[in-house]
A and B are shown apart, each in its own frame.
Chain A
Amino acid sequence: MAKLTTNRHSLRTRIGGLFFVLPSIITVLIFVYGMIIWSINVSLTDQNSGRKKEINYVGLKNYTDLISDDRFTHALGNLVKFTIVFILGTLVTGFIMALLLEKGIKGEGFFRSFYLYPMAISFIAMGTVFNWLLNSARDGEAGGINLALQKIGLGFLQNDWYVSERGAMYAMALPAIWQMSGYVLALFLAGFRGIPDDMREAARVDGASESQIYRYVLFPQLTPTLLTVLIILGHISMKVFDLIIGINGKSYVTQVVAVYMWESTFDARNYAKGTAIAIVLLVLIAIVVVPYLRYNNKQQAYR
């Protein structure tokens, strides 16, 4: 339908449309794509301070240096740990929340509103609270979450949280899961409710049990939603920055790629290295997001 009307447009109106979005197109072209290219360019030089007079091209040296840079591989390892726990945790929590709500229940609006409020609060503000509550003192000296765990008889779960190398990134994932589960809930709730009621009814008439309806009728319908959730969580996770800074600052133990980039750029003033790290991050995210955008673009074309 849309196609037909487009053909009927006169040339003037088609250019008219372009005319109005041209400023935005140019802006995006310069500030997104142009600056990415600029960053790549910086990452190929030895520019390690803002004031250096002579700048030489060093090829991929900054990238190869990263591979042998223990701090970078440590940050990357941390990011992988965080991403796995964060995605799984958020996915499971959000999905359970959606399952509990999807049939409709008295007071649903109340629960739903509360489940979504963390999305409106900054990671920095939440980080302040979790920084305090996730204190590593245990047993007699414990306070915050560790004390609460003792009180409810789960004392064995007491933890060093973000302090010790071993579990720090998993502890970091907890506040992130807390903050983002509502998002997953919303997406899955929309997914569930997009499935026509007739499908359930038909299965019920055919004698399927409640669990069979979920397993064979509803869950398969949610595959596109699952894909969306994974992409969204994946790119948020790889960019994680505020949350880490808010809870534990630039501490080595919980450093991830984005934090290391900040440190290299800000504290060490090594712009070439900073941009190289940023470009690595960009590539990692593009691998996840670009196929999704292409898929989305094709879907749009069929609308």
Chain B
Amino acid sequence: MSRDLVDLITAKHDVRNKKRKLNGKERFWLIFRYVSLTFIWFLIVMPIYVMVINSLKGVKNVYLINAFKLPERLDFSAWSVAWSGTDYFPQSISESMTRTLIFVIQSSIISAVIGSINGYVFAKWKFKGSNLIFTLFLFGMFIPYQAIMIPLVRVATEVGINKSIYVLVFAHVIYGIPICTLIFRNYYEAIPNELIEAGRVDKASMIRIYRSIILPLSIPAFVVVLIWQFTSAWNDFLFAIFLTGGSPKLSVATTALNFITGSSNQVYYGVNMTASLIVSLPTLIVYIFLGRYFLRGLLSGSLKG
């Protein structure tokens, strides 16, 4: 059985943390490590810091020269402008955010259900050629979506779903099949065969085993897949820009943000920073509260865990 990568990463290393007096050399390295880690920490936090402080400086008093300086007084006006727009800043992201939230939740749930069923079969009910088919699935995870985009846009147009946000539900569910199947399959592989051996008689019991044994154990895997699909659909720009054709009526978080920041009108950097922050908040919040599950999804993309 393969070891779980996330458990490996987050395991407490008691042996190495043994409390004892450090000699001079060891103490030097320990300080060196802390200094380096802190330095990297500052670099990593920098962009989010810039977003946050410049979102609190109001609409017009944001200059690059002061990009790293704290605001002299707190001014939340950029937040309301970015959220709902004004006469001099007509774009608002509230509508796009709501639209994104709705489609992302739908696509994540559907993806998780499909992934669970597929993963169950590929892990526990292997049929002739199932490993090959699974590998063919995985290839679909690595392709550049540009290679299918023009036919996909064509089909979406012919069917007429490119006029609604469901086109993105459709795309994320379909192209999410490989990764969702992979995550569930790896999870189910770790469930001992003995647990389901007893019930293995016929097709009927296959469904019953799923319902009574597998499904109750699946909650962590569902969380991983839901979070993964949520984050990747929320952050997706490629499908959104191709399938909605940049239409403002169907703008999602990323395309709206790109439209705001890429517009050639008067640029309000404070509003831009605020909009970026608002668009990043949902995935950040998910990461903050469920980071461990997010990491699991992330690592499964490497096919290793």
Give Cα A193 to B11, complex, Å.
9
Instruction: Say which residue of A120, A122, A125, A293 sits within 8 Å of B135 (CB atoms).
Output: A293
Interface positions of B (Cβ within 8 A of A):
1-3, 5-6, 8-13, 15-17, 30, 33-34, 36-37, 40-41, 43-45, 47-48, 50-51, 63-68, 114, 117-118, 120-122, 125-128, 130-133, 135-140, 142-144, 146-152, 174-175, 177-178, 181, 189, 193, 197, 200, 202-203, 206, 231, 234-238, 241-242, 253-254, 257-258, 261-262, 269, 272-273, 275-277, 279-280, 283-284, 286-287, 291, 294-295, 298-299, 301-305
Q: Is the beta-carbon distance between A186 and B175 smaller than 8 angstroms?
A: no
Closest beta carbon of chain B to A97's beta carbon, Å: 6
Q: Is the beta-carbon distance between A125 and B280 smaller than 8 angstroms?
A: yes
8 Å CB interface, A102-156 against B:
103-107, 109, 111-133, 135, 137, 142-144, 147-148
Interface centre among A28, A106, A277, A290 (most CB of B within 10 A): A28
Q: Is the beta-carbon distance between A121 and B64 smaller than 8 angstroms?
A: no
Q: Which residues on A sit within 8 Å (CB–CB) of B150?
A: 39, 42, 265, 271, 274-275, 278
Q: Is the beta-carbon distance between A277 and B125 smaller than 8 angstroms?
A: no
Q: Is the beta-carbon distance between B133 and A25 smaller than 8 angstroms?
A: yes
Write out, one digit per residue, whether chain A residues 278-291 have a CB within 8 A of any chain B CB (1) or not (0): 11011001100110
Q: Is the beta-carbon distance between A114 and B41 smaller than 8 angstroms?
A: yes
Q: Is the beta-carbon distance between A290 and B139 smaller than 8 angstroms?
A: yes
Within 8 Å of chain B (Cβ to Cβ): is A297? yes
Main secondary structure of the interface of B (DSSP, over half): helix
Instruction: Say which residue of B1, B2, B135, B284 sits within 8 Å of A117 (CB atoms).
Output: B284
Q: Which residues on A sit within 8 Å (CB–CB) of B203?
A: 12-13, 16, 19
Within 8 Å of chain B (Cβ to Cβ): is A64? no
Within 8 Å of chain B (Cβ to Cβ): is A91? no
Q: Is the beta-carbon distance between A31 and B174 smaller than 8 angstroms?
A: yes
Whether A128 touches B257, Cβ cut-off 8 Å, given contacts A12-B202, A249-B262, is yes
Interface centre among A21, A34, A106, A130 (most CB of B within 10 A): A21
8 Å CB interface, A251-265 against B:
258, 261-262, 265
Q: Is the beta-carbon distance between B131 and A300 smaller than 8 angstroms?
A: yes
Whether A121 touches B284, Cβ cut-off 8 Å, given contacts A31-B175, A186-B9, is yes
Give Cα A103 to B17, complex, Å.
8
Count how many pairs of residues, one from A and one from B, have CB atoms less than 8 Å apart in the complex.
Answer: 308
Jot down 8 A-B pairs with beta carbons below 8 A, ordered by A. Answer: A14-B127, A18-B130, A105-B33, A111-B41, A128-B276, A132-B50, A197-B16, A235-B142
Write out, one digit per residue, whether chain A residues 26-49 have a CB within 8 A of any chain B CB (1) or not (0): 011001111110110010000000
Within 8 Å of chain B (Cβ to Cβ): is A242? yes
Q: Is the beta-carbon distance between A278 and B64 smaller than 8 angstroms?
A: no
Interface centre among B12, B51, B125, B273 (most CB of A within 10 A): B125
Within 8 Å of chain B (Cβ to Cβ): is A238? yes
Q: Is the beta-carbon distance between A27 and B146 smaller than 8 angstroms?
A: no
Q: Which residues on B sit within 8 Å (CB–CB) of A125?
A: 254, 257, 276-277, 279-280
Closest beta carbon of chain A to B118's beta carbon, Å: 5
Q: Is the beta-carbon distance between A35 and B261 smaller than 8 angstroms?
A: no
Instruction: Say which residue of B193, B261, B284 sits within 8 Å of A131 (CB atoms).
Output: B261
Q: Which residues on A sit within 8 Å (CB–CB) of B276?
A: 125-126, 128-129
Q: Which residues on A sit within 8 Å (CB–CB) of B121?
A: 17-18, 20-21
Given contacts A25-B133, A122-B237, A265-B150, 17 further A-B contacts (CB under 8 A): A16-B206, A24-B114, A28-B137, A28-B140, A28-B178, A31-B175, A111-B37, A112-B10, A113-B291, A116-B295, A118-B44, A125-B254, A127-B261, A128-B272, A132-B67, A271-B150, A282-B143
Whether A119 touches B133, Cβ cut-off 8 Å, given contacts A17-B126, A17-B127, is no
Closest to A281 in B: B144
Give Cα A274 to B142, complex, Å.
19
Q: Is the beta-carbon distance between B3 and A194 smaller than 8 angstroms?
A: yes
Give Cα A271 to B114, complex, Å.
33
Interface size on A, residues (CB 8 A): 114
Q: Is the beta-carbon distance between B47 and A130 smaller than 8 angstroms?
A: yes
Q: Which residues on A sit within 8 Å (CB–CB) of B298?
A: 116, 119, 183, 186
Closest to B145 in A: A239
Q: Which residues on A sit within 8 Å (CB–CB) of B261?
A: 127-128, 131, 246
Q: Which residues on A sit within 8 Å (CB–CB) of B120?
A: 20
Q: Which residues on A sit within 8 Å (CB–CB) of B304?
A: 187, 190, 228
Within 8 Å of chain B (Cβ to Cβ): is A100? yes
Q: Which residues on B sit within 8 Å (CB–CB) of A36?
A: 143, 147-148
Closest beta carbon of chain B to A189's beta carbon, Å: 5
Closest to B142 in A: A289
Closest beta carbon of chain A to B162's beta carbon, Å: 13
Give Cα A198 to B262, complex, Å.
55
Interface centre among B11, B44, B50, B294 (most CB of A within 10 A): B44
Closest to A40 in B: B147
Q: Which residues on A sit within 8 Å (CB–CB) of B178?
A: 28
Q: Which residues on A sit within 8 Å (CB–CB) of B272?
A: 128, 132
Within 8 Å of chain B (Cβ to Cβ): is A92? no
Within 8 Å of chain B (Cβ to Cβ): is A67? no
Whether A28 touches B177, Cβ cut-off 8 Å, given contacts A111-B41, A147-B65, A186-B299, is yes
Q: Which residues on B sit within 8 Å (CB–CB) of A15?
A: 127
Q: Is the beta-carbon distance between A114 and B45 smaller than 8 angstroms?
A: yes
Within 8 Å of chain B (Cβ to Cβ): is A205? no
Q: Which residues on B sit within 8 Å (CB–CB) of A106?
A: 17
Q: Is the beta-carbon distance between A143 and B152 smaller than 8 angstroms?
A: no
Closest to A3 in B: B126
Closest to B51 in A: A129
Q: Is the beta-carbon distance between A115 and B40 smaller than 8 angstroms?
A: yes
